[in-house]
Structure 1
């Protein structure tokens, strides 16, 4: 029977063909938790199961990233508990400054084509760009997976997104996913496998693809999968842990999808999601001119090298508007070092940005730029729920790094196409 990417991966794990709605128990290739969820998973082990146990230290990782560095003694205690656990059980701890969990997992090769990865963080779906059945779970399920190395899933129905054409100048993959979420809304893909195929993928580097998969959960998807084509295989070669060479993973011709959609990348324009939902997306022209107090370029959605390169290209030789703050946080120390070597950090700093690395910070309203009463922010993050990034009366608009950088220059939401006269794929990054 022809299979979708999700059905292929789960079927390979259980050794038989699987169908949507079927319940399966599979071995996991990796488990991750961060500082907002790892302490809860440890507590579950102790209180519900009466013991701490890790099925395989090589496959379990903790990341301190959400409130990193700590902003109060209580958070410091949680970080200390994570360090203690990892020392005791010999699993990996990525401590303060290493990076945001999803970027670190990708850099460290902990997810690869055909793998099954669960993380106690909803944006674990990011790794689907590498052909991994990667999804977020609660702390209880994460604890069980850490202890047993197994987890259950209902085989998801699938949606196919056919991507054709090429992006135009000033348009990024963030604009594509905001358009898709705006079309399908918050529940348009609930517990489904969102599968992206087509020649349009060739117009996206790995950085761009990760952005798309990262946000599928905002329309309810269980996973956001892409075929493991040659570009993916080049990225994971020598990086993937535990496998000599991952296999190419494509959907079968004739595989059944609940619905199919076609998006011509050449028709996508810069998009902005208005408060208070990622699905509340509109073309930038509808919100152009709204004044912003703070611009944030970064997060697990848009803190990679391509994103920083775009921002630096727009801000080079310019200054952040007088009444606007601009914060740039790369998704990992590795990305920061690359940006430093290429001169992007210098460009952004000279433009008036605060540039740092390796923390979720303002995205989750922890620190490094929490919005005050009635302030307006333009963020490259994945969520703009009321009160998430600051005071309940603050407002966050979501946009691409190009739109964010252009808006930092003008101090108001701006169309990036007047500044970025090149296709992102054609840029040297």
Structure 2
């Protein structure tokens, strides 16, 4: 019987025939946690009396959420995790400055057809390369790190087809926000979304990563792009590795399908205080903005930094602006291309990959009564700082145009 990508991956991982709704045990190909969740994972492992890693080639640890540590407690946790990594001979350990875990998994580790599990909800990002990727809680990840196995309920496969090309000023973030507008937050719960791109070159990996990242906001169990030539090229270019894509069979059956004509989309913004409170840029344009954040595991990739630089090269930012490339590799490439210089000269504060502002942890929080535009993934009350602040989510070009003008702005008025 023809299988979807979801069914192919989970059939292999479980070693048995599967159907939606089945509860199965699966072998995990890649597991990870970061500084903020790692502490809790280790606590669980210690209570179980089994602090060990089942396979050092399949485990990644990264410091990203409170990195560099803004409090004594955060520093204490990182000291403990460093000691643990050394004692367990962890091979893939990324200390402060290397980047955000999800970006690192995408750049260096995740592969098509894998089962990827990590202690963070935005693990779905790895779905951009065609991996079945989920975020799980500390107890589940502790069990995975010890045994290499987990259980899950087989989700229903749901196909979204991306057709045509995006217009200038419109990016992957707008596709994610469009889906949230149509299906609402958690609207795809219990589904494994498989994205099929008609023209692979029209939707590059950076855009795919943004959409997969926000799959968790949609409620999806996984948000996978069906591997194609773009996938092959990305992995070859980032890792000098040739891969054979895992793809659905011809005639595979989905519980439902939805088509998106990319050329019909415009820049979108998620207004406070929900990711599905989506409006067109024209509905909110002109609103005074105090603070702009360009970065996060959602939109801290090279194309985002490039889009911001092409707009901010026109002058000084009128709203305070913090820009954080999602990894050291992205930072160094942006530095080579002159984008970092442009952002700094425009008045932005720029640093290495950290989640700080996105989670309201450090390095730039929203103050009482302030309005912020962020390229991150969540805007609920208090997410980025004060409960009295308001956060609008947008693509990097909207954020940069907003920083330049000090008001929510349409980036299409600034052609490259």
1:162-241 alignment runs, 5 A limit? 162-237=161-236
The answer to whether the Cα contact below 8 Å between 1:200 and 1:265 also exists between their aligned partners in 2 is no
**1:418 and 2:407 aligned:** no
Are 2:281 and 1:289 equivalent residues in the alignment? no
- Measured against aligned partners, the alpha-carbon deviations of 1:282-303 in whole angstroms (never above 9, x if no partner) come to 1111111111110000000000
What residue in structure 1 maps to residue 269 of structure 2?
Answer: 272
The structural deviation recorded for 1:200 is 4.7
Alignment of 1:246 onto 2:236: no
- Name the counterpart of 1:106: 106
The answer to whether 1:355 aligns with 2:354 is no
2:299 corresponds, among 284, 289, 302, to 302
In 2, Cα distance between equivalents of 1:354 and 1:98:
18
Distance, in Å, in 2 between the alignment partners of 1:209 and 1:187 is: 19
Q: In angstroms, what is the RMSD of aligned CA positions?
A: 1.4
2:385 corresponds, among 381, 384, 390, to 390
Distance 1:304 1:283 in 2: 23
Q: Measure how far apart 1:105 and its partner are.
A: 1.3
Q: Shift in Å at residue 251 of structure 1?
A: 2.0
Q: What displacement does 1:201 show?
A: 4.2
1:128 aligns with 2:127: yes
Once the two structures are superposed, the pairs formed by residues 149-164 of structure 1 within 5 Å of their partners are 149-164=148-163
Secondary structure of 1:218's match? coil
Gaps of 5+ in 2: none
Who is 2:368 aligned against? 373
Counterpart-to-counterpart distance in 2, 1:72 and 1:129: 34
**More displaced 10-residue stretch of structure 1: 397-406 or 193-202:** 193-202
Q: Are 2:200 and 2:229, in contact at CA under 8 Å, matched by a contact in 1?
A: no
The whole-number CA distance in structure 1 between the counterparts of 2:266 and 2:55 is: 46
* 1:250 to partner: Cα distance: 1.9
Instruction: Give the whole-Å Cα distance in 1 for the aligned partners of 2:317 and 2:238.
Output: 38
- What is the CA–CA distance in structure 1 between the aligned matches of 2:30 and 2:239, rounded to whole Å? 11
Q: Distance in 2 between matches of 1:387 and 1:415?
A: 26
Asked if structure 2 preserves the Cα contact closer than 8 Å seen for 1:163 and 1:201, the reply is no
- Tell me the matched-pair count: 415
Return the offset for 1:238: 7.8
Tell me the equivalent position of 2:27. Answer: 27
Q: In structure 1, what is the Cα distance between the partners aligned to 2:89 and 2:106?
A: 21
TM-score, structure 1 as length reference: 0.94
2:97 alignment partner in structure 1: 97
Cα offset for 1:120?
A: 0.3
Q: Distance in 2 between matches of 1:190 and 1:294?
A: 33
Report which stretch shifted further, 254-263 or 329-338: 254-263
